[in-house]
Structure 1
């Protein structure tokens, strides 16, 4: 990816680029923003008593990185390594990790509107698939890499205990609208925000539903802040991503004064400019929930 980080898109276009890869007979996708580089497999040192998904560790330019076997993650029968196997070196949630896949094929530029949310029926026993992309006769499955890593290392996820360290807090009637597509993270956010004193949170599973709700309030309320005090949004969501949601809010005369905080695993120093361009008041990287709570306090208390 280093040679063609291609194509980094303008902010707020509701588009993304997907790196397509293969495991077993299925095709999967990962947001190109998460991908630092794609390399040939390196010698792996196994770790005793490690999580079953962990293949071991490698040393890449002096940095020790965990290698995750995507065949095990996805329940594919383990086969021999072949010449097409690749390592996807990714960075998100303030961690760097390597995903071992069977092949990397191409990059697609698509709209979030083209991504269908999986039904509960074929999410089955987990929430690893967060979206389905139809490409002709093929389908690409978008995976929830944050949930995969939280299963391997729970410390990489949101921790309610972090909020408790902020001390006893006064309950607030301030209303928050939150857009987050992951059911697991919606539950964690609900629990942690409640612990922080914010019980009045309305959750939506994508930016489009959140925007439609806010737009309806703007029609019925002369002052939007009588109904909503702050918007909290993820970036990666089917139908409408968080950058586009923020842009639409800031372009709407009845909504533009609402403070927007982007809370995403994709927040890095290199990418913060994208949120700033669409007018977000602040941006916090998952899983820094205590920092998020302090930012919410800043804007609405």
Structure 2
């Protein structure tokens, strides 16, 4: 699948691939998609998680296959000709997501994505946002959580911070934009373990920017900002671009901490002025760079 590398960094836009499972519409950020293929023969793997169908061999790589219908408790595929495998790369690993059909790519703004309210979709545990388009709604799935639920070792590991040794308490003030409730708690736990206790969390980049622009008290200048990329209302690249273009904030170090950072996409963070870009779940590397940037 050819990605549109001409999509300018920091414009608060993204491209999503729409697909269907059991008659419901879902989306995945194009930045996570490496290719979309016809289903390949699956080799069963004994004692694997019940959401994992098995493994496939794609050229020289062995890739696990996740059945999204099982994850979402929807009707299984009838193994029709429209079935597809979406080969995605996130959290430094490749996964094939089995879907029932793929429609097309849409370019939208993060402003068109809203956080799902309680009981609004029935898929809250697996949803990052609701995409509002002219003719339909689609759910943007939280693929990172799906993978961590299958294999918790792929998530943030507080033991990696403990391995750094005894830590001093820090009075540095850190702002964090992260839309996942689960990851906000994990980041809080791991940063506290690392000695950083003056933390303020925001559900998306817009809320962090609004805090700096309108609510911040002069005595509370942040020492560092950490941001995810994929967030409703304002993504991390657009937030970073606004921070680095504003003389009030352009000296504050910004770390982009995201599951979709790769060699191919690293240039997007560079263009908006990020001081560091770290791929989830490298929490020990994140702590080490925070130490360096605030020292």
Judge same fold: TM > 0.5, yes or no.
yes
**Cα distance in structure 2, aligned partners of 1:82 and 1:124:** 26
TM-score using structure 2 length: 0.97
The equivalent of 2:10 in structure 1 is 12
Tell me the SS of whatever aligns to 1:105: strand
1:41-65, CA deviations, whole angstroms, 9 ceiling, x for partnerless residues?
0000111111010000000002110
Deviation at 1:135, TM superposition (A): 2.1
1:1-301 aligned at under 5 Å gives the runs: 1=1, 4-122=2-120, 127-216=125-214, 220-221=217-218, 227-301=221-295
Runs of 5+ in structure 2 lacking a partner?
Answer: none
Deviation at 1:270, TM superposition (A): 1.3
**Cα distance in structure 1, aligned partners of 2:256 and 2:24:** 32
RMSD: 1.4
**Cα distance in structure 1, aligned partners of 2:212 and 2:27:** 31
Aligned residues: 295
When residues 125 and 19 of structure 1 are mapped into structure 2, their CA distance, relative to the original with a 3 A threshold, is: closer
Tell me the SS of whatever aligns to 2:170: coil
Is the 1:247–1:278 Cα contact (8 Å) retained in structure 2? yes
Tell me the SS of whatever aligns to 1:104: strand
**Cα distance in structure 1, aligned partners of 2:257 and 2:177:** 10
Tell me the SS of whatever aligns to 1:71: helix
1:274-298, CA deviations, whole angstroms, 9 ceiling, x for partnerless residues?
1011011101000000000000000
1:115-162, CA deviations, whole angstroms, 9 ceiling, x for partnerless residues?
011012336575211110122342110000000000001111110000
**Cα distance in structure 2, aligned partners of 1:112 and 1:125:** 20
Runs of 5+ in structure 1 lacking a partner?
Answer: none
1:230-277, CA deviations, whole angstroms, 9 ceiling, x for partnerless residues?
000000000000000000001111111111000000111111111011
Is the 1:217–1:227 Cα contact (8 Å) retained in structure 2? no
